[in-house]
Amino acid sequence: MSNIRRGVWTNWAGNQTARPSAVHRPANEDELSAIVSRAANDRTTVKALGSGHSFTATSVTTGAMIDMSRLSRLIAVDRAASTVTVEAGITIADLNLLLNGLGLALPNLGDIAYQTISGAIATSTHGTGRALTGIAAQVVAMRVVAGDGSVLDLSPEHHPTLFHAARVGVGALGIVSRVTLRVVPAFRLRAVEGAQRLDDLVEQLDEHVDGNDHFEFFWIPHTKWALTKRNNRTDEPVSIPSPFKHWYAKTFMENYAFGAVCRLGRARPNLIPRLATALPSTGQSTIVDESYRIFASQRLVRFVEMEYAIPREACGEALQRVRRMVDERGHMVSFPVEVRFTAPDDVPLSTASGRPSAYIAVHMYKGTPFEPYFRDVAAIMADYDGRPHWGKMHFLGADELSRLYPQWEAFQQARQRIDPMRTFANAYTDRVLGD
Ligand SMILES: Cc1cc2nc3c(=O)[nH]c(=O)nc-3n(C[C@H](O)[C@H](O)[C@H](O)COP(=O)(O)OP(=O)(O)OC[C@H]3O[C@@H](n4cnc5c(N)ncnc54)[C@H](O)[C@@H]3O)c2cc1C
């Protein structure tokens, strides 16, 4: 989780720090609005804090930070409309438990649940599933505190153009105080994990993506192997055949053993290709569990990450180019490359706006130089009009980004209306959204 110690805030990955002028912890919307009003009157800035799980400097500020953790209550459940309304600071983990207790669930999630719902929405956080969108497109209404401290209810009926844009606000379109999300009846997933040769997988990519509710894979650099995850809805009862084997695979191998391999690789990079061959598993594992427990993993090994959304049809070619580039450029990469898929949506700054998308994510173990590898990957993604995740490392600025989003202007107009004084600006928004 994010941390403020002795006045210094640090994100989860440990690659961003900030020394805010003050830290506020509002207990209700009135307090939140008063904090923003004061900042606007004083011509200073404020930044809402989520869980600090972004890798970019999106939360870094010399102005005041607003810790949203006390705004984390359930406001309403509307079963007829299949929606729930929650305060913006609730973590996805808490929201999952709360929904499960009501017999409900979010239809799709990313691979961790430590984020706050508003932090996840702000950066276009997504999971995988060819027919499913990222979390922001599941938002049906939200309440935001605008740059002058006024409170706005946004929905397709109230301020529709602001609502349209504010779902992925990159922290610049007001401070979200509550959000109404579309939910579905709680469901279980049958999760099958196995290994496949990358060439075969790329050949059969459409079958995999279209033939599963949630398909993703991890290519292991320096090998020809990929680990696949196929999650499908099922009515079967919860079944974890061997809890010890499950713990061994998920906690020991994916965290402790993997962490040890990464540490060794960081100390002796030339060993990485040999260590990588030990990673692919030849076996297959199957479990059935509640959807939210299948979606979210434990992440104990710290890293930095960059992720690009590209048109889905370009995925195989782009990935094979990354594979060749890693060999040709001699990058030593101990972390798998993760590949996921989503449906298009209509949110202006959603990374899947207007196009079925594939996501290619690269990672480097904490403390390892990442920039040469990430820049080489970014150069490949640029050939496919790749859009970087707003919460993950990237090197683009507003000029380049504006060309990647057809609805860029709609976002800018909403920003001008919600925050003309730039009360929510920081160096990151100046860079990626313009001043
Ligand atoms: C281990 C790990 C796994 C991850 N897995 C995935 C994944 O599967 N899929 C994916 O897409 N991403 C993933 N991410 C990225 C992550 O989902 C995003 O970076 C997300 O924004 C983090 O949420 P947060 O609550 O930590 O927000 P923060 O990082 O704290 O904040 C993100 C932005 O949201 C703004 N914000 C926060 N609260 C509010 C509010 N109330 N109103 C307005 N703005 C607000 C902040 O000011 C900031 O600009 C992962 C990150 C990590 C570290």
Asked whether the beta carbons of 97 and 177 are under 8 A apart, the reply is no
- Whether 12 is in the pocket of ligand 1, judged by its Cβ within 6 Å, is yes
Tokens representing residue 119 in the block: 């932090």
Q: Is residue 170 part of a domain?
A: yes
Q: Are residues 213 and 361 in the same domain?
A: yes
Q: Is residue 396 part of a domain?
A: no
- Whether 53 is in the pocket of ligand 1, judged by its Cβ within 6 Å, is yes
Q: Provide φ and ψ at 329, rounded to 5°.
A: -90, -5
- Of 3, 112, 339, the residue with max ligand 1 atoms within 8 A of its CB, to mutate for a pocket test, comes to 112
315 C-alpha to center of ligand 1: Å? 24
> What tens digit of pLDDT does each residue of 325-378 get?
999 999 999 899 999 999 999 999 999 999 999 999 999 999 999 999 999 999
Asked whether the beta carbons of 419 and 40 are under 8 A apart, the reply is no
Q: Are residues 214 and 101 in the same domain?
A: no
**For the domain that residue 158 is a member of, what is the CATH number?**
3.30.465.10
Across residues 386-405, what is the average pLDDT?
A: 98
- Of 123, 173, 300, the residue with max ligand 1 atoms within 8 A of its CB, to mutate for a pocket test, comes to 123
d(CA 281, CA 228): 10
Tokens representing residue 386 in the block: 């790749």
Identify the residue whose C-alpha is closest to ligand 1 atom 20: 120
- Determine the structural domain holding residue 95 and report its residue range: 74-185
pLDDT at res. 256: 67
**For the domain that residue 241 is a member of, what is the CATH number?**
3.40.462.10
54 C-alpha to center of ligand 1: Å? 5
Q: How confident is the model at residue 417 (pLDDT cuts 50, 70, 90)?
A: very high
d(CA 409, CA 165): 10
Across residues 257-263, what is the average pLDDT?
A: 77
Identify the residue whose C-alpha is closest to ligand 1 atom 51: 53
- Whether 116 is in the pocket of ligand 1, judged by its Cβ within 6 Å, is yes
56 C-alpha to center of ligand 1: Å? 10
> What tens digit of pLDDT does each residue of 31-65 get?
999 999 999 999 999 999 999 999 999 999 999 99
284 C-alpha to center of ligand 1: Å? 32
- Whether 51 is in the pocket of ligand 1, judged by its Cβ within 6 Å, is yes
180 C-alpha to center of ligand 1: Å? 18
175 C-alpha to center of ligand 1: Å? 14
Q: Are residues 200 and 269 in the same domain?
A: yes
Ligand 1 atom with the smallest distance to the CA of 125 is 11
Asked whether the beta carbons of 228 and 217 are under 8 A apart, the reply is yes
12 C-alpha to center of ligand 1: Å? 10
pLDDT at res. 252: 65
- Whether 47 is in the pocket of ligand 1, judged by its Cβ within 6 Å, is yes
> What tens digit of pLDDT does each residue of 95-110 get?
999 999 999 999 999 9
Which of 162, 185, 208 marks a domain boundary?
A: 185
Its pTM surpasses 0.75: yes
pLDDT at res. 261: 78
Q: Are residues 232 and 181 in the same domain?
A: no
Which of 356, 373, 388 marks a domain boundary?
A: 388
> What tens digit of pLDDT does each residue of 167-221 get?
999 999 999 999 999 999 999 999 999 999 999 999 999 999 999 999 999 999 9
Q: Are residues 340 and 383 in the same domain?
A: yes
Q: Are strands 22-24 and 64-67 parallel, antiparallel or unpaired?
A: parallel
Q: Are strands 46-49 and 64-67 parallel, antiparallel or unpaired?
A: parallel
- Whether 391 is in the pocket of ligand 1, judged by its Cβ within 6 Å, is yes
Q: Is residue 270 part of a domain?
A: yes
Q: Are residues 223 and 365 in the same domain?
A: yes
Q: Are residues 159 and 241 in the same domain?
A: no
- Whether 58 is in the pocket of ligand 1, judged by its Cβ within 6 Å, is yes
Which of 370, 388, 406 marks a domain boundary?
A: 388
Q: Are residues 169 and 273 in the same domain?
A: no
Q: Is residue 9 part of a domain?
A: no
Q: Are residues 266 and 221 in the same domain?
A: yes
Ligand 1 atom with the smallest distance to the CA of 52 is 30
The total number of structural domains that make up the chain? 2
CA distances to 6, 114, 421, 427 from 56, rounded to whole Å, are 22, 17, 23, 11
89 C-alpha to center of ligand 1: Å? 11
Q: Are residues 222 and 149 in the same domain?
A: no
Asked whether the beta carbons of 142 and 167 are under 8 A apart, the reply is yes
Q: Are residues 299 and 332 in the same domain?
A: yes
Q: Are residues 128 and 242 in the same domain?
A: no
Q: Is residue 428 part of a domain?
A: no
% of the chain exceeding 90 in pLDDT: 87
- Whether 135 is in the pocket of ligand 1, judged by its Cβ within 6 Å, is no
Q: Is residue 51 part of a domain?
A: no
203 C-alpha to center of ligand 1: Å? 33
- Whether 188 is in the pocket of ligand 1, judged by its Cβ within 6 Å, is no
- Whether 54 is in the pocket of ligand 1, judged by its Cβ within 6 Å, is yes
Q: Is residue 56 part of a domain?
A: no
58 C-alpha to center of ligand 1: Å? 9
Q: Are strands 184-185 and 214-219 parallel, antiparallel or unpaired?
A: unpaired
